[in-house]
């Protein structure tokens, strides 16, 4: 099913390091456009998504449209921040980009995998509150269920050509780096803060495997948005022993470096 070309798909690969993405070279995600090494607006899930939902996507220093949020935003909230130097993508009115898309007639659908999106908690309810429909699967490794739910939502109103804003936070790339069918125990987390044993090799192998798994499952959804606007990035990275640090939640180059791929109305950025 090909969607309205004004539709938007926004995917965050939770905790996915830039070097993981570069080494795996995901086939389906890679079709979106060139891989960019960007800097996330925060080093943990809530802070990063809160900023991105205000239009501040991961950015680079060079003056390039959409991939430098100071220079030109893909999603700009009117009256919010520096106006930029170049033309923006979507100019929106509202208290978040989700609310802004709703105001111009979009149906906004979201699914978040990690605990910060749990709507039964006061903190989790904040990130999902603006969506018309929101799904929290209860576990971080439920991409197959998330995609089934999104597909059901897309086809719920097949008679309309209403543009969609779909947000998907993917948890397989988050610690403990596990996916359905993986050969290792999902309760074995190789990346624990303050650990003394170095399990960097396990972290590398497992996050790479999780990203490859995710890429295969995303193929149909990405195909449906082929002529639309797509952003795939990570909310932050993880430390794997650099400077004695493990996981995220602390400001460090490895928790801020993220992959970024984007296309605007079917054209690679």
The structure tokens listed for 8 are 């938007």
In degrees, to the nearest 5, what angle opens at C-alpha 186 toward C-alphas 184 and 192? 105
The structure tokens listed for 11 are 């995917």
As to burial, measured by CB atoms within 10 angstroms (0-12 exposed, 13-18 middle, 19+ buried), residue 37 is middle
- 169: β partners: 12, 112
Give the whole-angstrom CA distance, residue 171 versus residue 192: 16
Give the whole-angstrom CA distance, residue 97 versus residue 102: 9
pTM of the model: 0.95
Query: Distance of CA 170 to CAs 114, 210, 253, Å?
Result: 8, 10, 22
By three-state DSSP, how is residue 181 classified?
coil
By three-state DSSP, how is residue 91 classified?
strand
Q: How many Cα atoms within 13 Å fall on the side-chain side of residue 204?
A: 9
Go through 191-204 and write b for each residue having 16 or more CB atoms within 10 A of its CB, e for each that does not. Answer: beeeeeeebeebbb
Place of tokens 């610690």: 175
pLDDT confidence of residue 83: 67
pLDDT tens track, the chain, 269 positions: 668 889 999 999 999 999 999 999 999 999 999 999 999 999 999 999 999 999 999 999 888 878 888 888 999 988 766 666 768 889 999 999 999 999 999 999 999 999 999 999 998 899 999 999 999 999 999 999 999 999 999 988 765 689 999 999 999 999 999 999 999 999 999 999 999 999 999 999 999 999 999 999 999 999 999 999 999 999 999 999 999 999 999 999 999 999 999 999 998 88
Give the whole-angstrom CA distance, residue 166 versus residue 173: 20
pLDDT confidence of residue 118: 97
pLDDT confidence of residue 156: 83
Rg of the chain over all Cα atoms, to the nearest angstrom: 18
Long-range contacts of residues 220-223, Cβ cutoff 8 Å, at least 24 apart = 220/147, 220/151, 221/9, 221/147, 221/150, 221/151, 221/168, 222/9, 222/28, 222/29, 222/31, 222/32
Domains and CATH numbers, the chain: 8-46+97-268 (3.40.720.10)
E strands, the chain, in order: 8-13, 36-39, 75-77, 90-92, 107-112, 133-135, 164-170, 229-233, 239-240, 246-247, 257-264, 267-268
Among 134, 109, 125, residue whose Cα is nearest residue 46: 125
């Amino acid at each position: 099913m090909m969607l309205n070309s004004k539709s938007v798909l926004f995917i965050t690969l939770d905790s996915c390091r830039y070097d993981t993405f570069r080494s795996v070279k995901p086939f389906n995600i890679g079709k979106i456009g060139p891989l960019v090494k960007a800097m996330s607006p925060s080093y943990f899930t809530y802070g990063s998504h809160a900023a991105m939902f205000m239009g501040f996507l991961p950015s680079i220093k060079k003056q390039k449209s959409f991939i430098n949020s100071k220079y030109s935003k893909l999603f700009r909230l009117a009256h919010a921040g520096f106006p930029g130097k170049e033309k923006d993508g979507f100019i929106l009115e509202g208290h978040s980009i989700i609310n802004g898309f709703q105001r111009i007639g979009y149906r906004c659908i979201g699914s978040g995998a990690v605990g910060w999106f749990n709507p039964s908690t006061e903190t989790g309810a904040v990130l999902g509150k603006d969506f018309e429909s929101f799904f929290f699967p209860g576990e971080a490794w439920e991409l197959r269920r998330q995609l089934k739910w999104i597909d059901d939502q897309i086809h719920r109103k097949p008679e309309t050509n209403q543009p969609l804003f779909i947000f998907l936070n993917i948890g397989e790339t988050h610690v403990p780096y596990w996916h359905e069918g993986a050969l290792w125990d999902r309760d074995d987390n190789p990346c624990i803060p303050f650990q003394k044993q170095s399990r960097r090799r396990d972290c590398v192998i497992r996050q790479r495997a999780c990203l490859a798994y995710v890429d295969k499952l995303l193929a149909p959804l990405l195909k449906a948005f082929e002529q639309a606007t797509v952003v795939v990035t990570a909310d932050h990275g993880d430390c794997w022993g650099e400077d004695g640090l493990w996981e995220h939640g602390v400001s460090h180059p490895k928790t801020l470096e993220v992959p970024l791929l984007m296309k605007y109305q079917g054209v690679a950025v």
